[in-house]
Structure 1
């Protein structure tokens, strides 16, 4: 049954991908300019990219994303749970969150680089900052939305605090966390691109900008497509986690 549902979804993805390439090719014909190569030229450039270079650049980008997301989840989950279950901590931390959340995080890039340098730390911290406040707010609201009667039922059957957390609080928080990550990944990847322009020789952002400076437009677009593929795979991974751990929603 699951396979039957996945097949139409896969066919729709392939159809949209084909349509995008057709629009791309028509635009290429209309422009007739080197700044927009044909889809065939870009795929050929992608095919001729060295496997070691691609693996190295994609690997560095994925590692930075993973570290940033992990940090945001650990800190955001802790603070969000604290605010969601404790009215006192919610009153104390709520003004802090709401005063700092609206600040455009990309504007903090120069500040982060001044304090932490141009290396890996600043890149990971920027991704963490993008996700952190959204995780905190989502977890807090998700936990507060859990009816108290749910905990009362578990109390009546003798459930421990740990069992209440594992069976009620964590699933309620995990649901909104996965939705938040899915929404925020695009922004996090965009920020990663900016951070990889400075102080590094590895990463998809560096790869794309290097090709642009060399006026190698097919390779530049090939890098953009690889970067997009990384984002697509991460989206699929979040969907898989949602399917595996959120079975109760179905």
Structure 2
């Protein structure tokens, strides 16, 4: 989708791949099909593990984690009465109620994203840049352990809902130019606006089946920290807007995007 970013030092590349099997979910259990993939890949210089929504293949180089591939396993049978795709969830040993075929729409998700600003190359490019900025910000500012860090798909869904084109008028030539700073700050504020004053939580749903809340795994405390850091992020962007000196602005942005943010 053009929104991937490089991982931070000591983190590895995260690659998502969907495997669609032409079979009926009524003929095989989700764990049985996941075992096919697990056993086929459990060889060579890699480790394979079951995750609830996928099978993860971890590749190594010189004893260090290089990248991993999350393989989501789907069942699709054109002869099914509902003509739907289902995602295999669960792993061996998990409770029976957690071993399920969950309705999904991986193609619809990609199509939904690609329709955004279709035929508007400049707008689409800014849309993708803003998502990449936010992904970098969340990687720098949240631990990868547990559920404190928002997922990439949650960030993408936020942008799909609340992103607005940012432009700035240049008085010297009378033209409008894309302004990523304004667009990014406005999106951060739009996400902050989604927090409920009573519960202190926000939600954003996957735009296709199963339309689950992509922030549901965050605890109340993690949600509180997420909002607080979003507000600090917005304030830093506002400070950059008011700063004339480019070097000073870059140092501010280094604090939110990491030390490798350029200063020249």
In the superposition, the TM-score normalised over structure 1's length comes to 0.23
Q: RCO (CA 8 Å, sep 6+): is it higher in 1 or 2?
A: 1
Which has more helix, going by share of residues? 1
Which structure would you say has the larger Rg?
Answer: 1
In the superposition, the TM-score normalised over structure 2's length comes to 0.22
